[in-house]
Amino acid sequence: MAQLVPIPILVVTVILLVRAEFRSDTRQIYVLKPLSTLLVILVALLSFLAPQANAAFTIWIAAGLILSLGGDVALMFATNKAFLVGLVLFLLAHVVYAVAFTVFNGFYPGDLVIGAGLLAIGAAIYAYLWPGLGNMKLAVALYILIICVMVERAASTFLGTAFTPTQAVLLTAGATLFWLSDLVLAVNRFRRPFRTHRLSLFLYYGGQLLIALSPSYFAT
């Protein structure tokens, strides 16, 4: 399958990116970070070659990944303004993913249970981060709410018939890894900095890759 071809290259670039992050090698980071996201975008776009793919869903996923690319670039710069820009772009990416999952899958009664559980977890995370949020309280609250919605919309794919079981696993696992990567970054920035937080890049790119693969697995 053509969409699998970029994956070995992506694995190498992400490993090199993590190494560059630990070495604070900004020149390599500026190359490897956008390159890695571009490879994930390529994985999604190559689904157009899969006979069972849905072109409209591929476009939705590609749009979310392009917004994520903008967020990645913004977060390479260590300023509060750049962080806010990155936060907005990733928030929009989560919105695009959530809308895409909903347009194709709809809503089900079980969503209420899943949503309540995720919101409870999100509230607990927000309470933990609260002491260090400063003037970012509203922005972070909105971000946590949106990403919880995105993860719920991904998990909801198990409840409907629009997506195959393979896609439901890819989307739910991908959204969860994305969520966990954001949690690590939030804890590092707002509550307890720790040097190994850059390992969260494995969670981030793993999550985005699983989401990018999902358009290729619609039922024939």
Give the model confidence (pLDDT) of 81-96 as tens digits: 888 899 899 999 999 9
Domain count, the chain: 1
pLDDT of residue 179: 97
Give the pair of three-digit tokens for residue 69. 């690319």
Share of the chain above pLDDT 90, in %: 84
Give the pair of three-digit tokens for residue 3. 């969409």
Whether the Cβ atoms of residue 190 and residue 133 lie closer than 8 Å to each other: yes
pLDDT of residue 80: 81
What is the average per-residue pLDDT within 9-29? 96
- Assess whether pLDDT exceeds 90 at residue 78: no
**Rounded distance between C-alpha atoms, residue 155 and residue 175, angstroms:** 8
What is the average per-residue pLDDT within 35-60? 94
pLDDT of residue 219: 76
**Rounded distance between C-alpha atoms, residue 82 and residue 189, angstroms:** 14
pLDDT of residue 194: 84
pLDDT in tens, 174-184: 999 999 999 99
Sorting pLDDT into bands at 50, 70 and 90, what band is 220? low
Biggest CA-to-CA distance, the chain: 51
Q: Is 64 helix (H, G, I), strand (E, B) or coil?
A: helix
pLDDT in tens, 125-169: 999 999 999 999 999 999 999 999 999 999 999 999 999 999 999
Neighbours of 15 (CB within 10 A): 14
Residue bearing the bigger pLDDT, 197 or 210: 210
What is the average per-residue pLDDT within 59-72? 97
Contacts for 32 with CB less than 8 Å, ≥ 6 apart: 13, 14, 16, 17, 20
Contacts for 40 with CB less than 8 Å, ≥ 6 apart: 10, 65, 205, 208, 209, 212
Q: What is the mean pLDDT of the chain?
A: 94
State the residue range of the domain holding 173: 2-217
pLDDT of residue 175: 98
pLDDT of residue 7: 96
Closest by CA to 58, choosing from 70, 42, 69, 47, is: 47
Whether the Cβ atoms of residue 160 and residue 106 lie closer than 8 Å to each other: yes
